[in-house]
Amino acid sequence: MKLIYKKISVFLSLFILICNISACDSITPTNLNNTHINNETTVENQLISTVSTINTNNSFIPYTEYNELGRVPIMMYHGIENIKSSTTGFAGGNVDKDGYFRTAEAFREDLEFFYNSGYRMIRLIDYVNGIIDCPAGYSPIILTFDDGYESNIRINNINTDGSLDIDKNSAIGILEEMKQKYPDFNVTATFFLTSKLFRNKNSKISMHWLIENGYDIGNHTFSHIDLTTNDVNFAITDVALQYENLDEILGPNKAVNIVALPLGAPYSFEDKRASSLIDFYIGEKHYHTASLMRVGYAPERSPYDKNINIHYIMRVRAYDNNGEEYDIESTFRLLNKTRYISDGNINTITIKEQDSHMLGNTYDLSIISY
């Protein structure tokens, strides 16, 4: 085991070093190679042979120490504005003071950073169901968008053949660009909508397009009223109304049964206005919610961790605050030590032996410990 610890620490130091050198921007093959040459004499043989197998087209070095009890970032975005980051008057691509809106330029940079740091996208609903489909040595990341801003998917024109001319600087325009550029990024995202949908006349067309093109739509309640300002009955009704609304537009069970709580409230799952949303009846009809998105600031636990409450999960606000207070940079700095590292097999959970007491729900998968 000592050897394994040593290898992990060498690997992490190397990765952190590379990250520091490049200020956590995209790591180019050139500076990566230089780093290796400089460190070669201090690195043990085993590690060098691993490094030498990397694909030169991809600057990321897949980890060899799998950790499927690691943390998973679930990023929370809102609107994307097509303006230059240098013109916003706020830090690194924030459009507003709190960074709920990002520039198209910053969103592109975020995605490049995730890709080049070895993150590959998975669906939120898959994570909730314990399905982490990610290549060996890479880490899962989940994207979400709240409130249905038109800048999530802006349709410039509907072509005569029925295809959509989507604004290349809307969130979907940029995500589709990444899908072309990096086919192994596994581009996907979940859009949480209220009764306002995407706030424009093409909302329903957009929703159908998203479902048909590998994206998900979730429930952000019908009215977007803070659920703690009312009673349990209001909470379940507001969620049920939006489930019905989404079913009517998309067809039954096309939307995912995940609810993003408006303003992240209630702040405790003990509050019945949160916990009651998991299973409830309106008249005779039963509603089931797989998970609630609560207020968050950090990457969430692995779905296999005994301390996760899979019904009440945390997201990371995708914003820039000069590397402080849970912004993107500080979050991913933390993740370098705690990230979920996939074994590349959806049927097994690979963990370090000393972490086996942390296993919770294993979703009937086989466990491999080392």
Candidate ranges 27-35, 138-146, 172-180, 225-233; the one touching Zn ion (CB under 5 A): 138-146
> Is 68 in contact with 304 (CB distance < 8 Å)?
yes
CA–CA distance, 346 with 131 (Å, rounded to integer):
6
Nearest by Cα to 304 from 340, 274, 275: 340
Instruction: State the nearest-atom distance from the C-beta of 310 to Zn ion, in Å.
Output: 21
Tokens of 64: 């060899």
Nearest by Cα to 152 from 52, 44, 233, 80: 80
CA–CA distance, 172 with 149 (Å, rounded to integer):
12
Candidate ranges 54-62, 140-148, 287-295, 316-324; the one touching Zn ion (CB under 5 A): 140-148
Residue from the set 105, 109, 126, 147 that interacts with Zn ion by CB under 5 A = 147
Q: Is 146 in the site for Zn ion (CB under 5 A)?
A: yes
- What mask of x and - would describe binding to Zn ion in positions 175 to 214, judged by CB under 5 A? ----------------------------------------
CA–CA distance, 96 with 343 (Å, rounded to integer):
39
CA–CA distance, 62 with 117 (Å, rounded to integer):
10
Q: Residue 110 or 147: which CB sits closer to Zn ion?
A: 147
Q: Residue 68 or 147: which CB sits closer to Zn ion?
A: 147
Q: Residue 304 or 312: which CB sits closer to Zn ion?
A: 312
Binding residues with Zn ion: total (CB under 5 A): 2
Q: Residue 109 or 147: which CB sits closer to Zn ion?
A: 147
Whole-angstrom CA distances from 42 to 7, 12, 74, 275 are: 12, 14, 36, 53
Candidate ranges 35-43, 143-151, 183-191, 242-250; the one touching Zn ion (CB under 5 A): 143-151
Q: Residue 24 or 171: which CB sits closer to Zn ion?
A: 171
Q: Residue 10 or 295: which CB sits closer to Zn ion?
A: 295
Instruction: State the nearest-atom distance from the C-beta of 192 to Zn ion, in Å.
Output: 7
Alpha helices in the chain (DSSP H): 2-21, 29-39, 45-51, 104-116, 124-128, 171-181, 203-212, 232-250, 272-275, 328-338
> Is 179 in contact with 143 (CB distance < 8 Å)?
no
Instruction: State the nearest-atom distance from the C-beta of 109 to Zn ion, in Å.
Output: 24
CA–CA distance, 255 with 258 (Å, rounded to integer):
9
The conformational region for residue 323 under phi > 0 = left, psi -120 to 50 = alpha, else beta, is: left
The conformational region for residue 264 under phi > 0 = left, psi -120 to 50 = alpha, else beta, is: left
Instruction: State the nearest-atom distance from the C-beta of 336 to Zn ion, in Å.
Output: 30
Q: Residue 146 or 327: which CB sits closer to Zn ion?
A: 146
Bridge-based pairing of strands 74-77 and 316-317 is parallel
Instruction: State the nearest-atom distance from the C-beta of 327 to Zn ion, in Å.
Output: 19
Q: Residue 192 or 215: which CB sits closer to Zn ion?
A: 192
Instruction: State the nearest-atom distance from the C-beta of 263 to Zn ion, in Å.
Output: 6
Q: Is 126 in the site for Zn ion (CB under 5 A)?
A: no
Residue showing tokens 């969620």: 239
Q: Is 238 in the site for Zn ion (CB under 5 A)?
A: no
Instruction: State the nearest-atom distance from the C-beta of 261 to Zn ion, in Å.
Output: 8
Candidate ranges 100-108, 147-155, 272-280, 288-296; the one touching Zn ion (CB under 5 A): 147-155
Q: Residue 81 or 147: which CB sits closer to Zn ion?
A: 147
CA–CA distance, 231 with 116 (Å, rounded to integer):
46
Instruction: State the nearest-atom distance from the C-beta of 262 to Zn ion, in Å.
Output: 5
Instruction: State the nearest-atom distance from the C-beta of 119 to Zn ion, in Å.
Output: 24
Binding site for Zn ion (CB under 5 A): 146-147
